[in-house]
Structure formats: C-alpha cells, structure tokens
Structure 1
Amino acid sequence: MSLSSPGGATGHRIGYVLKMYPRFSETFVVTEVLAREARGADIELFSLRLPNDGRFHDTLSRVQAPVTYLPHTRLRAAELWETLARVNALRPIGPDALTALLAADARDAAQAMELAVHVTERGITHLHAHFGSVATTVARLTSLITGVPYSFTAHAKDIFHASVEPADLAAKLADAHHVVTVSDYNVGHLTDRYGSAARRVYRVYNGLDLSAHPYRDPVDRLPLIAAVGRLVEKKGFDVLLEACALLVARGVRFRCRIAGTGALAGELTALAERLGLAGTVEFTGPLPQPRVRELVGAAAVFAAPCVVGSDGNADGLPTVLLEAMALGTPCVSTDVTGIPEVVRDGETGLVVAQRDPAALADALAALLADPTLRVGLARAGRALVEREFDAAVQAGRLDALLPPPPVTGPPVPAAVAAL
C-alpha cells in the first residue's frame, strides 16, 4: 500500500490500470500519480504487460504505489476455469458481467478476472485506466464483475486512430463513472461523435511538475532547434527536416537536435542525409528526463511539427510542449487537435499549418533571429503553464471527479479469508 492511510485523503483506494508500467514515453502517468500521492491519495498500480524498455526516468523512484503485474499469457482452459471459479467465490458473477466476459478476448477476460480478485481482496474502491484501449477494456470488465466504478483518461491514439471501434468506445464512455481527456478539442470530438455516451467527459490537462522545470529567459541562447518525441509519422519530423534544409539554403546558421526513437528512425536518418543535413541535424536517440530538460532548456526554439497521420492518429497535446514552455523555450507547432489551446499563435508561441515546411522554416527563422520575440512568447508561455498545467492543481481536479467514497468500504465476501 502507499504510505497514506487506507482510503487516503479522498476516502478511496484507487487502482490504476495501465497497459504497461513503467513506460519510458509516458512520463505524464508518473507525474499524475506523484501529484495525487502528494495530496494523500492511496493508489495501487496494475500493469497488463511487463515493461520491455529497460530505460527509466529518475522520478520513478519517488512513486510509493505498489505495482502488480497481471498474468498476460493466454491461459489454458483449466486455468481459465479455475480463475473464473475463484472470482465467483469472492463475488458471484452476475449475468451482465458473464455476458461481457464471454464476448471479450480471452486474455482480456482472464486479466479482468484476476484484477477483480485483487480489487476485492485489497479493498480497491475506484479504478482508473489510462487510454481508452485495452487498459479500459480490462477496467470495465472488472467493474462489471465487482461493482467498483471506473474512469479513464482518453488521450489521442485511443480515440483518433483508424483501429478504434466506435461501438466499443461508446460502451466504455457510457459505462464509466466519468471520463477525463486532455484537451477541449478532444471533448468536442467525443461529444460530436458519441453524443449522450460522452455526457460525462471532462477536460483535465496533463499536469507538469513546475519545480522540476525552472524558467529562464531565452535571451542569449545558441541558435539551437530542439525537438523531442517518438520517431513516428504523427510527430512530423520529416517536415522539420525539410524546413531545416530550407533554412540551410537561406544561409541561416543553426543546429537541430532531435531526441527520441521509433519506427521511422532509419527513414528519417536517410532523409536527413539526402537533404544534405549532416553536421546540421543530430539524432540523439532517447534521453532521460534530466537530459531532455537540459536539451530543451538550452535551445533557442522548440519545434513540434505534429501532423495527423495517414491512419488518423494524432497527438492530443504533447507534454513536451508544456515542458518547453515551462523552461522558457518558445515553441513552434501546428494547428493539430488541442495544440492551439496551449501554443497560442503570436501569444505563447507560433502556430503553422501542418505539413508546410516553408511556413515552419519561416517561424523557426523568426525565433532564431529575434531575442525580443523569444522572450515575449516565453514569458507568456510560462504564465499559461503555471495557470493551467500545474500537476498539483490537476491532481485536485481529478480527485474532485471521484464518486463519493463508500462509507464502510466495498463488501468483502467471507471467502476472502479462506484464500
């Protein structure tokens, strides 16, 4: 258990359901858990997959919540039957839950039943999943089995990608006690697409630990363009490389460093070579959070040329934009999804159309050349982050969405004592 008293400050014992924990690219999960723990929340983490990265951020060591890794291999028939019997002994499975289990993928159903055992034995009173995909599938099934309410945070791929099944997401939205999403754009999308099923969707921006991101005016910085993110289509790094080639052709002096790894690493490296950017653009590979802050905090400009991918996938609102703004690095980004909610053109940053390397080059050149413009945008950006994206404030907003806590905790069947 966490170090807070049972039930914590909220009166709840919250079970976070995550596809994989920890995940190098999902710093927002750790930030959120830490901020809620700082408020006294009693949290346990349940991961559906074992971590496969091997790289971990320094903040991970501060998380108090214990982690349980649910079995994720496909069970043999006898094991599945045994799990079903164990769950039914703890809490008889109702017809609605049984129907949903039978309709689910066998692995999802098995993990939901295993999670139901933990929820009942440990007195979990609320479940919260990140991403409306498999983690929410398991949380919803567990909720049907146990009667413990669930919520989830919808981000981007889980609502925009072509693989999203509308009927499945609609059921998750309708059955959740509440749903959190990371931008007003996402709220509008879900409401327009799913109508009354999305009536309990609330916007809560991802939070940032401001103490870890000290502000510094970008006056005397070297002509460095920084970019951070997975090397995948939606990040638009191919457009950034084309913009860099235009800047070189114009005689602009600068360097560009792109931090991250991903499926397009080889293609992007080859494109940089074809564009003659050797010595100008560097791919650093993935960096831990302190190195990311060092890179971004030293740059004259941060570039996030996000695009809507060919599969419909898009960023919701990249956390690294918030980090850059907090550090005092002015941002250039695109008019994709919720990004203009934080990068407000001419106020807190510069916004260009997606897939427009010439416009991106113009914006980057303007910031590289004009310290006064950099400082003005940077100060306004930091002020916005302080008002709207403080992790401590966001944690309070998440806690406020929880249902009233059970007076005496969830009923625990006598069969628990025999296990």
Structure 2
Amino acid sequence: MQQTRKIVVVLKGYPRLSETFIAQELLGLERAGFELVLVALRRPTDTKRHPVHDEIRAPVHYLPEYLHEEPMRLARAVLACLPKQGFWRGLAAMLGDFRRDRSRNRIRRFGQAAVLAAEWPQGAGWLHAHFIHTPASVAAYASLISGTPWTCSAHAKDIWTSPDWELAGKLASTRWTVTCTQTGFDHLRILANGKSPVHLSYHGLDLARFAPFSGERLPKDGSASDQPVTILSVGRAVEKKGFDILLRALSLLPADLNWRFEHIGDGGELKKLQALATELGIAGKLSWRGALDQKEVLSRYREADIFALPCRITADGDRDGLPNVLVEASSQRLVCISTNISGIPELLIDGENGFVVPPEDPQAFAAALETAIRNPSLRVRLGDAAEHRVRTEFDHHASIRQLKDLFEAEWQATP
C-alpha cells in the first residue's frame, strides 16, 4: 500500500514562474504525505525560480521534447514496451486520435508516453497530469501502455483550445478530473456525460507566503505630480492577458491625472507592447520589470495602489481561468480591476471587492481606472473586502485536502 502512494505527475514544463499554483499544490501534496515524481515534457526556460520550487523534494525527469533529438532513448523504450498488450492498446488509441487530428504532435506524445512507461519510476502506482491538453495526452497513452490508472487537473487554455471530442475521450478514461473554475467545471461535466467524476477545486493561495499587509498606502488621488498613483500588472506578455487594451486605456486617462504603470513578466509580445506605448505617447510613464520571483512580486503588490489585468478570450478560444495574480494582489488589500471572463467573477464582484468590466473595451477599463485613481478611500474599501474574501474562501489548504481525499479514496478502493 505504501508503494501506491507514489504519484507520477506529468507537467508540460517545470519549473515555470507563471505556474506557482502548480508548485504550491505539489508542495502541499508532499506535506500531506505523498511521494511525487515529476515528469516534464519540456526543460525550463525561465532564468529565475520561486522559493517554493526549492522546497519541493520530488525528483524531476525530462522526457524527450522532440523525439528526433533522442532516437536511441526512444528506440529502447519502444522495444521495452512492444511485448506489453497495453502498448498496442495505446497505439490504437493514438492512431484513432491521429485520424481526427493529423498532427505530428500525436506521434510525439505517444513516443513520450512510451519513454515514460519504459522508464517508469520504481514503486509508483498512480499517474496524474497537470493540464488536459498535451500532458494529459502523454498520461492517457502511458496509462494504456503501463496499465496504471490516471487522473487529471484541467485549468484554462488546455480546456478551451482542445476539441470537445478529445476532451470527452480523456474524461472517459480518467478516474476523475479536477478543474479550477465554475465555467470550466460546467463545460467538462457536460462532456464527461457521467462517465467519470469532475470536481471543482479552486487553487487558492498559500497564505503563509502572502501574509497580511500591515502597512498603509498613501491616500494618493492622482492630483500631485510628485505622488503619482502606481498601477501594477503581473503576467506574461501574451494576447490573452489583454495588455494592449490596458495600454490603450491608460492613454485615455485625463491629462490632469498623475500615474505610473509597472509591468512584471516576460513574454513574446513585450517588444510589440513597448512599441504601442511609444505610439500612444505614454512610454515615459511605464516601467517594464521583466520576470521576478515571488518575494519580489509580493513587494511590488505592497508598493502599488491599483492592480490591473484586462483578460480576454482570443480567437482560438485561449483564456485565463482565475489568474492567480488576482488572488495574490487581493490578499495584499490591493484593489483589482479586471474583466468578466472565465473564473474572474468568482473572485471579484464589481463595486463590492473590485472593478469588473467587459473585455475588449479600453474606454470601460479607463473609466474604472480613473474612478480608482481619484478615490483612495474607495480603493481601501474594495481592497479590504477583496482580502477578506481571499482569506476566508481561497486558502489553498482546502484544495490540498480535497485532492488528498480523492487520492486516498481511490487507493482504499484498490485491492
């Protein structure tokens, strides 16, 4: 029985600065008594790490990111798996998927699954995937090859950019799936069609790392040039974050308001955003801080006056679920302005504990920004309410207890 408490966790990449919610969950499961082995499809590209990554004891193994880069490793894995009946079941499943989506990625995921099955960590008795797109593909094929049951954590992009037929197939083969927003839960539950359980489990926040902010922010209202209101945003510079909308909103603010904007994060659209800021005539008020670790980000939350994140749904369906940075900022009594997509309204209620506006609307976002800038007492009231909600409803220990119970129930039912 002790051996089955070792879980192989399949991740897209590890470690990643943008996925603190996964790291804190891994650490929470270790502290709950589970032994983990992390298996990543990609090696890290971030130059920094969060402190939580150094606290996780689990070993990390990397599968071949591209099969042609490690042909001998792949060949050894396939030869080792050929005698297993599960290999042929997995191959049949992959070919069925390939007929519906003729992508080389299908073959790559099967090859990675064969390597995982052939190099299976000794004593591991369970397989869990974070993200229901590519990591879950590897997990599903590896489960068929090895005969090991698997489960899944689904999040945001992975749900909304995957075709329904593929999601339904994976849901039917898992023992259970958890997801982190009500909208994602409703969508997956319909696709599961009663064939396997789907559970709603908010990530929450490790409140020990985000202790209450005991300081006081100055009651700045944008009227003094030597005391500009600081607007902060944290996130990768990618389309779904809506940073172009935020820049356009900032450019619409009245000329008499004094403000400055700070962005934390890297991403492929940084140069385009910086060029847009220059085009809009606001580049002099902006600071681009790049990627920072969790302690540095916490310090910035406490120094800022407003947090802004105008999330959107992209043309291919990509979107955030409930961005962890909104929960983090709220934990520091920092008033947040965001949009009414996905799980954001599950945290923020407009006028009650933050500002929530429609996506793709720079004018509406600018109006919310102006209201927040000119009303420091309103910022305090909404920020206090947001912190109260986070500390009463978004403690990550609840999610860890839920996952622990789900794993324990499966193992207790296993002969």
In the superposition, the TM-score normalised over structure 2's length comes to 0.88
Q: How does 1:19-34 map to 2 (within 5 A)?
A: 19-34=12-27
SS at match of 2:129: strand
Hey, what's the Cα distance between the residues in 2 that align with 1:403 and 1:316? 27
- For residue 96 of structure 1, what is the aligned residue in structure 2? 89
- For residue 296 of structure 1, what is the aligned residue in structure 2? 301
Once the 2 structures are TM-superposed, how far is the Cα of residue 403 of structure 1 from its aligned partner? 5.7
Q: Is the contact made by 1:14 and 1:124 (CA closer than 8 Å) also made in structure 2?
A: yes
1:110-145 Cα shifts (integer Å, max 9, x gaps): 2212212343x5121221111111110011111112
1:350 partnered with 2:355: yes
Hey, what's the Cα distance between the residues in 1 that align with 2:45 and 2:285? 32
Q: Is the contact made by 2:127 and 2:148 (CA closer than 8 Å) also made in structure 1?
A: yes
Hey, what's the Cα distance between the residues in 2 that align with 1:95 and 1:245? 59
- For residue 127 of structure 1, what is the aligned residue in structure 2? 127
Once the 2 structures are TM-superposed, how far is the Cα of residue 397 of structure 1 from its aligned partner? 1.0
2:56 corresponds to which letter in structure 1? V
Hey, what's the Cα distance between the residues in 2 that align with 1:241 and 1:307? 14
C-alpha distance 195-359 of structure 1, shift in aligned 2 (>3 A)? same
Residue in structure 2 matching 1:361, options 351, 366, 370: 366
1:30-64 Cα shifts (integer Å, max 9, x gaps): 11111111222211101122222332222211111
Residue in structure 2 matching 1:201, options 198, 201, 205: 198
Q: How does 1:12-411 map to 2 (within 5 A)?
A: 12-74=5-67, 80=74, 82-88=76-82, 92-93=85-86, 95-103=88-96, 105-119=106-120, 121-161=121-161, 164-192=162-190, 194=191, 196=193, 200-216=197-213, 219-220=217-218, 223-247=229-253, 249-402=254-407, 404=409, 406=411
1:316-336 Cα shifts (integer Å, max 9, x gaps): 110000000111111011001
- For residue 416 of structure 1, what is the aligned residue in structure 2? none
Once the 2 structures are TM-superposed, how far is the Cα of residue 153 of structure 1 from its aligned partner? 1.4
Task: Report which stretch shifted further, 72-81 or 101-110.
Answer: 72-81
Q: Is the contact made by 1:215 and 1:326 (CA closer than 8 Å) also made in structure 2?
A: yes
Aligned length: 397
Once the 2 structures are TM-superposed, how far is the Cα of residue 356 of structure 1 from its aligned partner? 1.6
Q: Is the contact made by 1:218 and 1:378 (CA closer than 8 Å) also made in structure 2?
A: no
C-alpha distance 127-113 of structure 1, shift in aligned 2 (>3 A)? same
Which structure 1 residue ranges, 5 or more long, are not aligned? 411-419
SS at match of 1:211: coil
SS at match of 1:401: helix
C-alpha distance 234-408 of structure 1, shift in aligned 2 (>3 A)? closer
In the superposition, the TM-score normalised over structure 1's length comes to 0.88
Once the 2 structures are TM-superposed, how far is the Cα of residue 172 of structure 1 from its aligned partner? 0.7
C-alpha distance 319-173 of structure 1, shift in aligned 2 (>3 A)? same
Hey, what's the Cα distance between the residues in 2 that align with 1:311 and 1:407? 41
C-alpha distance 274-304 of structure 1, shift in aligned 2 (>3 A)? same
Once the 2 structures are TM-superposed, how far is the Cα of residue 98 of structure 1 from its aligned partner? 3.9
Task: Report which stretch shifted further, 135-144 or 221-230.
Answer: 221-230
Hey, what's the Cα distance between the residues in 2 that align with 1:258 and 1:77? 42
Hey, what's the Cα distance between the residues in 2 that align with 1:276 and 1:149? 56
1:112 corresponds to which letter in structure 2? A
Once the 2 structures are TM-superposed, how far is the Cα of residue 81 of structure 1 from its aligned partner? 5.1
Which structure 2 residue ranges, 5 or more long, are not aligned? 99-105, 221-228
Q: CA RMSD in A?
A: 2.5
Q: Is the contact made by 1:74 and 1:106 (CA closer than 8 Å) also made in structure 2?
A: no
1:81-121 Cα shifts (integer Å, max 9, x gaps): 542331356x54365334225556332222212212343x5
Hey, what's the Cα distance between the residues in 2 that align with 1:82 and 1:117? 8
Q: Is the contact made by 1:32 and 1:207 (CA closer than 8 Å) also made in structure 2?
A: no
2:377 corresponds to which letter in structure 1? T
Hey, what's the Cα distance between the residues in 2 that align with 1:202 and 1:81? 38
SS at match of 2:67: coil
Q: Is the contact made by 2:192 and 2:198 (CA closer than 8 Å) also made in structure 1?
A: no
Q: Is the contact made by 1:300 and 1:367 (CA closer than 8 Å) also made in structure 2?
A: no
Hey, what's the Cα distance between the residues in 2 that align with 1:80 and 1:256? 49
Q: Is the contact made by 1:218 and 1:328 (CA closer than 8 Å) also made in structure 2?
A: no
Hey, what's the Cα distance between the residues in 2 that align with 1:198 and 1:356? 40
Q: Is the contact made by 1:302 and 1:330 (CA closer than 8 Å) also made in structure 2?
A: yes
Hey, what's the Cα distance between the residues in 1 that align with 2:334 and 2:354? 9
C-alpha distance 395-195 of structure 1, shift in aligned 2 (>3 A)? closer
Hey, what's the Cα distance between the residues in 1 that align with 2:192 and 2:149? 21
Q: Is the contact made by 2:77 and 2:119 (CA closer than 8 Å) also made in structure 1?
A: no
Once the 2 structures are TM-superposed, how far is the Cα of residue 22 of structure 1 from its aligned partner? 0.9
1:380 corresponds to which letter in structure 2? A
Q: Is the contact made by 2:81 and 2:87 (CA closer than 8 Å) also made in structure 1?
A: no
Q: Is the contact made by 1:307 and 1:354 (CA closer than 8 Å) also made in structure 2?
A: yes
Once the 2 structures are TM-superposed, how far is the Cα of residue 253 of structure 1 from its aligned partner? 1.2
Hey, what's the Cα distance between the residues in 2 that align with 1:405 and 1:185? 26
Higher RCO, 1 vs 2 (CA within 8 Å, ≥6 residues apart): 1
Hey, what's the Cα distance between the residues in 1 that align with 2:365 and 2:195? 36
Hey, what's the Cα distance between the residues in 2 that align with 1:78 and 1:70? 13
Hey, what's the Cα distance between the residues in 1 that align with 2:129 and 2:412? 24
Hey, what's the Cα distance between the residues in 2 that align with 1:107 and 1:22? 21
Task: Report which stretch shifted further, 145-154 or 76-85.
Answer: 76-85
2:171 corresponds to which letter in structure 1? L
